[in-house]
Amino acid sequence: MAKNLNFYPVILAGGRGTRFWPLSRKKRAKQLLALDGKQTMIQQTVARLLPLAPAKKFWIIANDDLQPAISKQLSKLPKTQILAEPIGRNTAPAIGLAAFILLRENPEAVIGMFPSDHVIADEKRYRETLERGIEVAAAGANIVVLGVRPNRAEIGYGYIETGGLFQGDALHVRRFTEKPNAERAAEFVAAGSYFWNSGMFLWSAQTLVEALREHLPKTALLLAKIADTYGTRKFASTFKRLYPHCENISVDYAVLEPRSAKGQEAGKIYCLPADFGWNDLGSWTALHEHHTAKTTPPEANLVTGSGVFLLNARGNYIHAPGKFVAAVGVTDLVVVETPDALLITTRQQAQDVGKVVKYLDEKKLHKLV
């Protein structure tokens, strides 16, 4: 697979992964954990993109807590391209800063924006889809989103409403819709023209910079000033001083929604169906489902321990390394042990684990987060 010399993968890696507490912590978040094999999530993300771009073209946007560990895990990437946000400002300023820097470096740059912690089953098809997306993004002021065909009425994802075909395989995007309630989600799935928003986008640096100048002018001005100092001694201090003044807003709200409101012809947003086995592993429940689908363990019990005894136990996820685990007469539990914490919940309630972290933050129990 030939590497595209103008393609730059930008991986957003500043999230805390709070729904994977107590394993996921501020300095060792979900993307730094090996949840699906021997490599960590961010290592997998980079590895599947390397056939499309050399290591020197990768950029990582992280934070001060995670930057040292990410640099260690991704030792082949240039350390100067693993940036640490001085404060979290959501996806629009993060990807926007990369766009302003890369536009100065290469006016033909095409940026791929990728989360750092997703799972892809069919990597060959994934790269083929991205190659097509790069082609569309490079051909004008076009924005490409990878959309996942919904197989259930999921309320945890944003949705993309699509229109007619564009150049054979892409679809015009009519609008982006934030996370719906259960009734609307069921309507979207029944309609057949809606996709889940995977959070993966492709656009030229020029297109994104112009869109930010149009829809987020104050933040665009700040990002331009920061980018102007990249590669100089002033960069770190300028980044620290100006970035906190950027608006705290997602790229979906800042660019995609107002752009799609122009209409599908003028908006120039296109959806490529992501038919390559995508999973964002958003919770312990999703991780359990992912692994049981791959390995089909007895009675759907996934147990990590030094030894295991199971009796009338079904559908449990238990992580207690170094401990003998006995599960008797329990169903659909999630139990995760670390040296300083123990999580006990059910697979039905695992989406709420992030609320534990919120409580710990409020109580200033910093050692536990």
Does 243 have pLDDT greater than 70? yes
Does 289 have pLDDT greater than 80? yes
% of residues, the chain, pLDDT over 90: 94
DSSP letters along 259-303, please? Answer: HHTT-HHHH-EEEEE--S-EE---SHHHHHHHHHHHH--GGG-EE
pLDDT at 3: 74
Mean predicted lDDT score pLDDT of the chain: 96
Radius of gyration of the chain (CA): 21
Amino acid at 249: I
pLDDT at 5: 83
The tens digit of pLDDT for each residue in 27-44 reads 999 999 999 999 999 999
The total number of residues written for the chain in this structure? 369
Band the pLDDT of 2: cuts 50, 70, 90: low
pLDDT at 221: 98
| Beta bridge partners of residue 269, listed in sequence order | 143
Does 124 have pLDDT greater than 80? yes
Residue 86, both tokens:
């001085």
The tens digit of pLDDT for each residue in 43-62 reads 999 999 999 999 999 999 99
pLDDT at 1: 67
pTM: 0.94
The conformation of residue 150, written as its DSSP 8-state character, comes to P
CB environment 245-256: b (16+ within 10 A), e (fewer): ebeebbbbbbbb
The tens digit of pLDDT for each residue in 309-349 reads 999 999 999 999 999 999 999 999 999 999 999 999 999 99
Q: How far apart are CA 141 and CA 127, in angstroms?
A: 22
The tens digit of pLDDT for each residue in 176-230 reads 988 899 999 999 999 999 999 999 999 999 999 999 999 999 999 999 999 999 9
Other C-beta atoms closer than 10 Å to the C-beta of 331 total 15
